[in-house]
Amino acid sequence: MKRSILTDSYEDIAKNLKLDKPFQAKIIYHALISGITEFDRITSLPKALRERLTDEYDSLLASKVINTAESDYAVKLALLLQDGSIIECVRLSDGKGRYTACLSSQVGCAMGCAFCNTGTMGFIRNLESYEIAEQFLQLSLLGEEISHIVFMGMGEALQNFTAAMDAIKALHREDGFNISYRRMTISTSGYVPGIRRLTEISVPLRLAVSLVSADDKIRSDIMRINRTYPLSELKSALLSFQHHQDKRITFEYCMLSGVNMDRESAEKLRSFMKGLDAIVNLIPWNPVEGLGFNAPSESEIHRFTDMLGSLGIKYTIRRSKGQNIAGACGQLATKTRRSIRQ
Ligand code: SF4
């Protein structure tokens, strides 16, 4: 089975490709990150070596783009992996020249959050580190320089901690894509053991927590993780994270009409945030057929943001990009997978 060399050291590359001279590994790695995906185009390698490598490996990439969908601010790729699994990743644009890669960390997701399309797939498997890193490369091959990364695609990244961290380190590599840790955000549904591990390592990543509700009953109903790690445990892990890493935390708050947008919800949110340096990122729910929720109306959003403002809660509103290509938050996954399998 072929694997991408993106997360390999030069020694590993030289060994895997059975290179005659170790420095050729460096040439191949640099060719790959500059967008050359075929050995034959690496003209600084001897012809005989290029031919041998082309015979043994058809491409430098381990994944294949099988579907591309575009909207004004987002491009979503469906990638076919070596074992036949399909994952999705998205390149988001802010319209001002800043591009962000939204990467997946698992095939499917075990968390089963009730408002999320990926959750309906169930957990299929963890991605290998190179499968995570290669999503970034595939999105870069679309042609724009990507400066930011968010782990908000399919899966709970902190449950695939080692592979996610290896991919993060590879994407940070100075002689590679060189993405600063501060420009990478890892998102979690509130997987406390993962937050604690992240606290222990000194990698200054940004942390986003998909909070959705600061009420244990509501949160446990719509996010199963809360039954294992309730809000009190989550908060204690976040306090410790902030104590060690001194980084502002983002709370992703998916607004669900009639569920988490009343006065009581706002007040509970304020008391949960007490003692934390955090900002709330409000995201109107992206409709997914059959999940049984409703997106909030503009007037509901206004009412809720007024309440947050009056309670002194810092917030921003994120209008999800890529909604019409099912590439927005909570929408990734099943469409392409089903259509491929039919
Ligand atoms: S919201 Fe995130 S953690 Fe929850 S099911 Fe979806 S992908 Fe998994």
Alpha carbon nearest to ligand 1 atom 4, residue? 113
Q: What distance in Å separates the CA atoms of residue 69 and residue 177, rounded to the nearest whole number?
A: 24
Atom of ligand 1 nearest to the CA of 109: 8
Structural domains of the chain, count: 2
Mark whether 182 and 203 lie in a shared domain.
yes
Does any domain span residue 105?
yes
156 close to ligand 1 (CB < 6 Angstrom): yes
Mark whether 14 and 86 lie in a shared domain.
no
Structural domain of 273: 64-341
Does any domain span residue 4?
no
Q: Which residue has the tokens 């060994």?
A: 15
Catalytic (active site) residue 254: no
Does any domain span residue 164?
yes
Mark whether 151 and 247 lie in a shared domain.
yes
- Answer yes or no: are the C-beta atoms of 88 and 80 closer than 8 Å: no
Does any domain span residue 278?
yes
- Answer yes or no: are the C-beta atoms of 145 and 21 closer than 8 Å: no
Does any domain span residue 110?
yes
Q: What is the pLDDT of residue 341?
A: 31
Mark whether 302 and 159 lie in a shared domain.
yes
Q: What is the pLDDT of residue 337?
A: 43
Q: What distance in Å separates the CA atoms of residue 244 and residue 201, rounded to the nearest whole number?
A: 10
Burial class (CB in 10 A: 0-12, 13-18, 19+), 72: exposed
109 close to ligand 1 (CB < 6 Angstrom): yes
Q: Taking every pair of C-alpha atoms in the chain, what is the biggest distance, in angstroms?
A: 71
Per residue in 239-276, is it b (16+ CB within 10 Å) or e — as a string? eebbeebeeebbbbbbbbeebbbeeebbebbbebbeeb
Q: How far is CA 43 from CA 50, 53, 137, 194, in A?
A: 8, 13, 21, 44
Does any domain span residue 1?
no
Mark whether 80 and 194 lie in a shared domain.
yes
Q: How far is CA 40 from CA 1, 32, 116, 299, in A?
A: 21, 12, 43, 58
Mark whether 43 and 78 lie in a shared domain.
no
Q: What is the DSSP string of 148-214?
A: EEEE-SSS-GGGGHHHHHHHHHHHH-TTTT---GGGEEEEES--HHHHHHHHHS----EEEEE---S
Per residue in 92-106, is it b (16+ CB within 10 Å) or e — as a string? bbeeeeebbbbbbbb
Backbone dihedral angles phi then psi of residue 148, each to the nearest 5 degrees: -130, 155
Q: How does pLDDT run along the chain (342 residues), one tens digit per residue?
A: 667 888 999 999 999 888 989 899 999 999 999 999 999 999 999 999 999 888 877 678 889 999 999 988 999 999 999 999 999 999 999 999 999 999 999 999 999 999 998 888 899 999 999 999 999 999 999 999 999 999 999 999 999 999 999 999 999 999 999 999 999 999 999 999 999 999 999 899 999 999 999 999 999 999 999 999 999 999 999 999 999 988 899 999 999 999 999 999 999 999 999 999 999 999 999 888 889 999 999 999 999 999 999 999 999 998 766 565 555 455 566 444 433 332
Mark whether 71 and 49 lie in a shared domain.
no
Residue 88 Cα to ligand 1 middle (Å): 14
Mark whether 280 and 141 lie in a shared domain.
yes
Q: What is the pLDDT of residue 16?
A: 85
Mark whether 18 and 136 lie in a shared domain.
no
Q: What is the pLDDT of residue 1?
A: 60
Mark whether 31 and 116 lie in a shared domain.
no
Q: What is the pLDDT of residue 340?
A: 32
Mark whether 50 and 97 lie in a shared domain.
no
Mutational test site, ligand 1, from 102, 105, 107, 111, max ligand atoms within 8 Å of CB: 111
Does any domain span residue 5?
no
Mark whether 81 and 126 lie in a shared domain.
yes
Catalytic (active site) residue 88: yes
Instruction: Report angle CA 147, 149, 152 to the nearest 5 degrees.
Output: 155
Atom of ligand 1 nearest to the CA of 187: 2
Q: What is the CATH number of the domain that holds 156?
A: 3.20.20.70
Q: What is the pLDDT of residue 56?
A: 79
